[in-house]
Each structure stands twice: as structure tokens, then as C-alpha cells.
Amino acid sequence: MLAKIKPDLVFACYGMNDGIYLPLSDERFQRYQDGMHRLREKVEACGAKIVHLTPAVFDPLPIRLKPAPADKVTSGQMYDGYNDVLDRYSDWLLAQRDRGWRVIDLHGPMKRASEIHRRNDQHR
């Protein structure tokens, strides 16, 4: 696909679905890392540059009835602390800056904005 399109620049935002909305798993986290490395290699092999974006935040409040705590998650449910998983994925991706990766942090600012919004809503 990249050979057909011949991009100069690729923006890649992966992570939201990669943890499968379950608690952190070393195996899934390793697959995420391996996938990011493979994607990067493929993009660079076609002569393009890649910019990684950290995943967006997961907010369980709008879907209150669906998420479940880590010890109660069953198939078809979402872990209510899934944003902690995305924190980890984002932290790892941001750490790749030290290896020369271009990474834009969406997750951190979105998380902070959401927290500020929640605090302000509580004071109304």
C-alpha cells in the first residue's frame, strides 16, 4: 500500500484498541511495541518520514454501565481503568523520542483537559 501511495510523511496514531479495552497485559503491550516498530520500518523503507501520535484518552464516564473493574472484566466489557493502559502505551511511545522518533503527545494534554473539565463541573 505504501509503495502505491508513495507518501512523504505518515502520521500514525495507534493504541486505543490495541489493549483490547482490558487491563494491562505484558503480551499485548509487547505486541503494541512490536507493531509500532514494524510500522516504522515499513514507512521508512518506502522513503517516508513517520510521526507517531500517542493514543487518545479513554473516558469511562459516558459509558458508565459498560466498563468493569479489572477483576470483573468479562468478554465484551471494557476495563474502567483502561486509560491507565493508554498511559503506559503513551509513556513508552514518548520515551522513543530519546531514540530519535518524532512523537506528538495527544494523550497527556487530553487527559489534563479532561481532568480540568471534571473539576470545573464539580464546582458548578
Reported as a single tens digit per residue, the pLDDT across 71-97 is 877 666 778 889 999 999 999 999 999
Cell output for 107: 494523550
Residue 48 has pLDDT above 80, yes or no: yes
Residue 65 has pLDDT above 60, yes or no: no
Residue 13 near residue 106, CB atoms below 8 Å: yes
Structural domains of the chain sorted by starting position, each given as residue range(s) with its CATH number in brackets: 2-122 (3.40.50.1110)
CA distance 91 to 80: 19
* Percentages (nearest 5) of helix, strand, coil residues in the chain: 50, 15, 35
Query: Model's pTM, two decimal places?
Result: 0.82
